[in-house]
Amino acid sequence: MSAAAHSPHGLRQFTVLVIDDDSLVLSTLTDLLRAHGHRVLEAPTGRVGIELARAERPHLILVDHHMPEMDGLAVVGALKADGVTRRIPVVAFTSASAAEANRLVRAGCIGFIPKPFEPGTLPRLVAEFLRATVARSRRATVPPRSRPATAP
C-alpha cells in the first residue's frame, strides 16, 4: 500500500475504494469521503473493485454485500486470496443481516458499517477503521524496543 499523502488542507489523505452497485450510494459515499480529504476510487461491480484494488492498492476498501454477479462475500474472498490485495483492510458496508455480516467478517472483513447510514457518522467510522489499520500496520513494521538484560 502506498503511503498516505496530505490533502491541500494539510490533513492526512487516504485512498479509499468503494465497491457498491447502487449508483446513489456510491456517489454519496464518494462525496462524503472526498469532503473529508480522502482520495476515493469508485467501483460499481465486484470485478471492477478487485481490478482497482490490485492496480491502486488503497488504504481501505468498503464493499457492499448485496451485488449482482459477484456479491461482497465473493469479493472479500478474492481479495484475501490474492497476494497483492490480501493485506488491504476491507470493511463490509451493507444492509445484510447480522449473520451475513458475521460471515463477511469471518471471510476477512475487519468490521462492518450498517446501511442505511447517517451521513454525519460515516466519515467518523471510516476514520476509526483507518486509524486502527494504520496503527496496526505501524506496529507491524516497527521493531520491538530492546529491553535491558536482567541478571538471573
Between 76 and 151, the higher pLDDT residue: 76
Q: Tell me the pLDDT band of 150, cut-offs 50, 70 and 90.
A: very low
pLDDT of residue 142: 44
Which residues are within 8 A (CB) of 67 and not within 5 positions of it... i.e. 6 or more apart?
A: 19, 20, 21, 45, 46, 75
The three cell numbers locating residue 86 = 490480501
How much is the mean pLDDT over the chain? 84
pLDDT of residue 138: 56
Q: Check pLDDT > 80 for residue 96.
A: no
Per-residue pLDDT reduced to its tens digit, 108-136: 999 988 888 888 889 999 999 999 887 66
Q: Show me where the domains of the chain are located.
A: 5-140
pTM: predicted TM-score of the whole model, two decimal places: 0.82
5-140 CATH choice from 3.40.5.10, 3.30.450.40, 3.40.50.2300, 3.30.750.24: 3.40.50.2300
Please answer whether residues 88 and 53 qualify as being in contact, where contact means their C-beta atoms are separated by less than 8 angstroms: yes
- E strand intervals along the chain: 5-6, 12-13, 15-19, 39-43, 60-63, 90-94, 111-114
Q: Of 48, 80, 41, 83, nearest to 62 (Cα)?
A: 41
CA distances in angstroms from 117 to 72, 135, 148, listed in the order given = 18, 25, 50
Per-residue pLDDT reduced to its tens digit, 37-68: 999 999 999 999 999 999 999 999 999 999 99
Whole-angstrom Cα Rg for the chain: 17
